[in-house]
Structure 1
Amino acid sequence: MLARLPLFAAGLVSLANPIRKACKVTRGDVTLTKQLLDSINLDGVEEIHGDLTHYGCDATAIIRCKNFPKGPLEFSSSTLRKVNGSIDFMTYNNLEKLSLPNLSYVWNEFAVQDTASLKEMDLTSLESVSSFELGTTNLEKLHMNGIKELLPESGYTGGIYLNNAGKLDNVDAFFKNPINTSEIPTWTPGKGLLLNPPALRNVRTLNLGLTAMDKLEVWGTNLTIVLGGPETKSISYKEVILHGGVLGIHRADNLEKHVGKFRLDTDHDITDLSLPFDTVDSIALFNSSKLRSLTLPSQAENWKNLSLTISGCGSLRLESKNGADGKKTWYWPKSSMASVNITSNVSTSFFSGAPALVSFWTDISVPVALMYMLL
């Protein structure tokens, strides 16, 4: 078998037929021509020892694309199990269905980007991949049991990047399993999970079972985050940042949870925030005009060296440690705190039980504003 297998637009299907019939194992790259005119079926091929790629003709350059495919197109193989390279489908024009139901292992990256026509993906068995990147606007159906392993071997690992999940309302298959991303070498800055505004526009609940990561940063649309998947027992995140469109953050039952830094940044849709952490090192709430209440759990009594900053939260009231129903909503750490900086509506009685003050400062230009350093 040749080291490189280009499937040209002319005679595309006729060339695919001998490949799939004669070669269960393809030793080389499979490169699809830029201007695909036909659907591709690689039934019979079980392993590709190289890359499987298609870099299409950019729609903005359609005048220079001689035989721009009319579609709808489908790429499929019911037998492909393993790719010892990358799968890169970029600008796969008029691809409506990608069906690789028995593919379980991709040694390098799996990237599907700029595929506006893609409506359905069947990756039922995919478990092991170096990184997964998805950017599509109209994806409606995803068949996928769930990624269980991000492979470190290739040196091109980074995690899972949903630049745009299209019309999907559930992305649990990418995040529900207990994967430790902090131990994976990565080429990306931040080494974590970044979900930008368009990524999850139709997802209302994001279930995160990843056991560890350096940074979790999320935008959403009426999105609630649940920490913990069905097989996750504990979670440790170095930094959690929630932005606009996030309604709240909760935890699964029987989950141990540690966060280094928690931050609400820029305006968002959370009105009543209950922090579901066993331990946390730093809490910073910025520009949260809709935030009305903040609840610290009973575990807060055991937090050590906590830094607490609240600013730009004009609707927040910190007047009592009990809620309207009489239940306790605030627990001060019993040991010393690193610092407290609060600009909000606060009553002096709210600080009863707080660690001893070294100094404090008040500014009566707001109802009550306090900034002080604690022992």
Structure 2
Amino acid sequence: MSVSLLQSEPTSRIKSIDTIRGAIMIIMALDHVREFFLITAFTQNPVDPQTTTPILFFTRWITHYCAPSFMLLSGISAYLAGSKRSATETSLFLIKRGFWIVLIEVTLMTFILSFDISYKFILLNVLWALGCCMIVTGIFVRFFSAKAVLVFGLVLILGHNVFDFIKVTPNSVLDIILNIFFTAAGKFYPVGGRTIAVFYVILPWAGVMMSGYGLGKLYDKDFDAGKRKKILLLAGLSATLIFIVLRFANGYGDPALWTTQKESWRTVLSFFNVSKYPPSLLFTLMTVGPVLILLSFTDSTSNRLTKFLSVYGKVPFFYFIVHFSLIHVLSAITVLLTGYTWKQATDPELFFKFRPFDFGFELGWVYLIWIAIVLSLYFPCKWYGKYKTEHKAWWLSYL
């Protein structure tokens, strides 16, 4: 899903980026399998410290690392893709790819998620955010240096929670604008007989991508590898430490304050239950910090595990589309095989067709299905990665 797979002139690949991206893509699939196969996916909040279990909380919480990692790594890849281009060329490159990804979200991904040929709901999800972030980053790249883009990104990350304290008239034009760009947490807007569902905001995520773009300078060919590792490690540790300090302060940085629960372990869950929609400052620090540390540790690592993970990390867009398709098709087949009628499986009230609200299995089965799906995609991903390396057709730059 990163910009790196969309570039027409691939730069030399950074192994650590492919490794980390592959790991988070595998983890990402766990959350998507959970949504389609867990019996309580639509009836229980997995991160509510008052009602969840440790394993269910972890199952959802660990996948929080996926979207921030995608944005950060896409920013780094965008910088690398533009290293042989002028600022104008890089800007146009990012803007065009951004619009392409938004188009894929509105058309293909909306259908894959819903299986609804009427497009009753238009889903603006993670690809929407990724595409919009590329557009925003592309605009900034046109006029500012990589260091300045980094500064602007950090300002967005650090400052956007100010809007938590700003109250405007609900459903006003200003409210809608703020929701889309800063504050949305699952907003539904009726438009022309359909509903546009906005799950991901733009600018807080753009801040992560722009920060990644600025960090891309660390991967310049003449940049000392040892110094890069130290900077990544220091930045990661600093972000993690700031998260802990601000979270204990329980003030600025997240609209959901942590509270003391009836059991100590639930209090710990409350502490780590930070807001993803939109990504709060604390959410970003909690997730991006460890990712930077991992980038430092894997900078020059090559072993069986990193090679396995990089198979998925080299073809993120292909994996993203195919794994969602496979999950929903498998879910549809399972629903029909377990006794649901076609009418029940395609009920107009269902947000996702072939996913009845009372369908599903216990969490153990979800993990087994997740492992099976990830492993089943290993050889297709490996084949496609090799195919892209050996062929230079123009259309491959879009897939």
> What band does the TM-score fall into relative to the shorter chain?
under 0.3
Larger Rg: 1
The answer to which structure has the higher strand fraction is: 1
> Structure 1-normalised TM-score?
0.19
**If the length of structure 2 is used for normalisation, what is the TM-score?**
0.18
